[in-house]
């Protein structure tokens, strides 16, 4: 089985390496290009549609390896492939014609519905104490669709620097692959392997300085795949392990959350575009393009490692350990967000509170020394 995984990865890698230059020429030919503006960090016209190369490599490599594996869950794989084709088509059309947000959203909901119809639904939640399980019944379908659409757009939201979305998606895919191998989930493991190979091949052309952008066709496809793979890996989960896919996708989900909070604090529409995302804030602090991307890669690795650690805390006796880990991560996340001004440049309540405590402590220490 390991040999087949290796063949799948190499096949996807080579196909992506071969297809990306061809897709680049095709993007210029059809006019699917990204022109620089006040929100963009690039200074020249760049070809988009890179997602087509990722998708073609993913599909081709899967069909190269899958005939040799007879334990695959073909129904859910079919749902992922068809749904993926839908989001790639929607993304490609947007790369060329700039579709309206409503049309893109409808396409994403349709793709997510295909996955749900194939059987990929979070249907049970096992209770942390006792042997019981709670069925989500009618909530299962809308919650699964909401998750898939949300993650799909979260990956698209961080696609602002060369190699950023591809690299973060690759790290998340690797994390899901590790967990799938630990659980013996052959279907998810194979899909992760070929997706990772496709990302790696494309990243060769997409890392700074990029020769091609993945565009919405790539960002939406990667987000869709990650959301679906996380559902396939955690269909029947404990309350604690439900946090694992959230941790795996910590970077895009937290950036999306902070974007919503930022616009709420500043009385702006949620859909309003800005230059205050995580990568923008790091650039404004003086980090170079490449260093900013590598910092965010490091954060993604941290989240992924925490997810693997959290997966070992799904037993009853580890529940409080998981709660403590999540509390620490959230605290660090909020401190980091306020420090770089990702929500607001002036409103930093937690840092101001900690600063007051620091000042008060210093005053008490000074008084104590003077009294002696």
Confidence of residue 237 (pLDDT cuts 50, 70, 90): very low
Question: Region 189-203: what's the mean pLDDT?
Answer: 96
* Mean pLDDT lowest among 204-218, 238-252, 265-279, 284-298: 238-252
CB atoms within 10 A of CB 58: 28
Local structure of 236: helix, strand or coil: strand
Local structure of 343: helix, strand or coil: coil
Which of 118, 93, 120 has the alpha carbon at shortest distance from 106? 93
Question: Domain locations in the chain?
Answer: 2-371
The rounded distance, in Å, linking the Cα atoms of 214 and 168 is: 13
* Mean pLDDT lowest among 66-70, 100-104, 331-335: 331-335
Percentage of residues in the chain having pLDDT higher than 70: 85
Q: What pLDDT does 224 receive?
A: 95
Q: What pLDDT does 104 receive?
A: 94
Q: What pLDDT does 197 receive?
A: 97
Q: What is the mean pLDDT of the chain?
A: 83
Q: What pLDDT does 236 receive?
A: 45
Tokens describing residue 248: 């795996």
The pTM (predicted TM-score) of the whole model is 0.86
Helices (H) and strands (E) in the chain, counts: 14, 5
> Does position 314 have pLDDT exceeding 70, yes or no?
no
Residue 32 or residue 239, greater confidence: 32
What angle do the packed helices 215-233 and 186-206 form, to 10 degrees?
160
Percentage of residues in the chain having pLDDT higher than 90: 42
Confidence of residue 163 (pLDDT cuts 50, 70, 90): very high
Which of 179, 304, 332 has the alpha carbon at shortest distance from 324? 332
Residue 336 or residue 296, greater confidence: 296
The rounded distance, in Å, linking the Cα atoms of 311 and 44 is: 44
Q: What pLDDT does 255 receive?
A: 82
The rounded distance, in Å, linking the Cα atoms of 76 and 158 is: 27
Confidence of residue 264 (pLDDT cuts 50, 70, 90): confident
Give CA separation, 204 vs 20, 131, 151, 242, 300, in Å: 9, 48, 24, 33, 19
> Does position 211 have pLDDT exceeding 90, yes or no?
yes
> Does position 261 have pLDDT exceeding 70, yes or no?
yes
> Does position 59 have pLDDT exceeding 90, yes or no?
yes
| Segment (H or E) for 41 | none
> Does position 372 have pLDDT exceeding 80, yes or no?
no
**Cβ neighbours of residue 69 closer than 8 Å, sequence gap 6 or more:** 1, 4, 186, 190
Q: What pLDDT does 358 receive?
A: 80
Confidence of residue 128 (pLDDT cuts 50, 70, 90): very low
Q: Residue count of the chain, please give it.
A: 372
Confidence of residue 112 (pLDDT cuts 50, 70, 90): very high
Q: What pLDDT does 234 receive?
A: 65
User: Do residues 241 and 247 lie in contact, with contact meaning Cβ atoms separated by under 8 Å?
Assistant: no
Q: pLDDT, tens digit, for every residue of 327-356?
A: 787 787 778 777 777 777 777 777 777 788
> Does position 322 have pLDDT exceeding 70, yes or no?
no
Tokens describing residue 328: 């620490």
Q: What pLDDT does 83 receive?
A: 96
Q: What pLDDT does 135 receive?
A: 63
Residue 237 or residue 165, greater confidence: 165
The rounded distance, in Å, linking the Cα atoms of 244 and 196 is: 19
Query: Nearest 5°: phi and psi at 237?
Result: -125, 160
């Amino acid at each position: 089985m390991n040999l087949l995984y290796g063949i799948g990865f190499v096949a996807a890698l080579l196909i992506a390496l071969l297809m990306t230059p061809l897709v680049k020429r095709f993007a210029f030919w059809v006019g699917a290009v990204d022109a620089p503006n006040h929100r963009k960090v690039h200074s020249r016209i760049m070809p988009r549609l890179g997602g087509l190369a990722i998708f073609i490599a993913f599909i081709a490599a899967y069909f190269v390896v899958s005939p040799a594996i007879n334990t695959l869950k073909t129904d859910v794989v079919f749902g992922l492939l068809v749904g993926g084709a839908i989001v790639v088509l929607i993304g490609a059309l947007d790369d060329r014609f700039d579709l309206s947000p409503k049309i893109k959203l409808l396409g994403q909901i349709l793709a997510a519905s295909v996955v749900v119809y194939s059987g990929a639904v979070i249907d049970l939640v096992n209770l942390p104490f006792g042997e019981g399980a709670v069925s989500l019944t009618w909530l299962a379908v809308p919650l699964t669709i909401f998750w898939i659409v949300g993650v799909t757009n979260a990956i698209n939201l961080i696609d602002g620097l060369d190699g950023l979305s591809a690299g973060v998606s690759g790290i998340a895919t690797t994390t899901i692959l590790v967990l799938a191998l630990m659980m013996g989930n052959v279907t998810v493991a194979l899909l992760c392997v070929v997706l990772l190979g496709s990302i790696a091949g494309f990243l060769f052309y997409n890392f700074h300085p990029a020769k091609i952008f993945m565009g919405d066709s790539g960002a939406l496809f990667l987000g869709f795949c990650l959301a679906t793979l996380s559902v396939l890996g955690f269909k029947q989960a404990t309350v604690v392990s439900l946090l694992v896919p959230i941790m795996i996708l910590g970077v895009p989900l937290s950036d999306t959350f902070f974007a919503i909070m930022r616009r709420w604090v500043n009385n702006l529409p949620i859909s309003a575009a800005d230059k205050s995302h995580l990568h923008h804030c790091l650039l404004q602090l003086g980090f170079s393009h490449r260093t900013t991307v590598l910092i965010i890669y490091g954060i993604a690795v941290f989240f992924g490692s925490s997810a693997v650690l959290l997966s070992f805390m799904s037993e009853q006796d580890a529940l409080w350990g998981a709660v403590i880990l999540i509390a620490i991560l959230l605290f660090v996340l909020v401190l980091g967000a306020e420090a770089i001004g990702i929500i607001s440049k002036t409103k930093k309540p937690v840092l101001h509170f900690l600063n007051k405590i620091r000042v008060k402590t210093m005053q008490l220490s000074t008084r104590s020394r003077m009294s002696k």
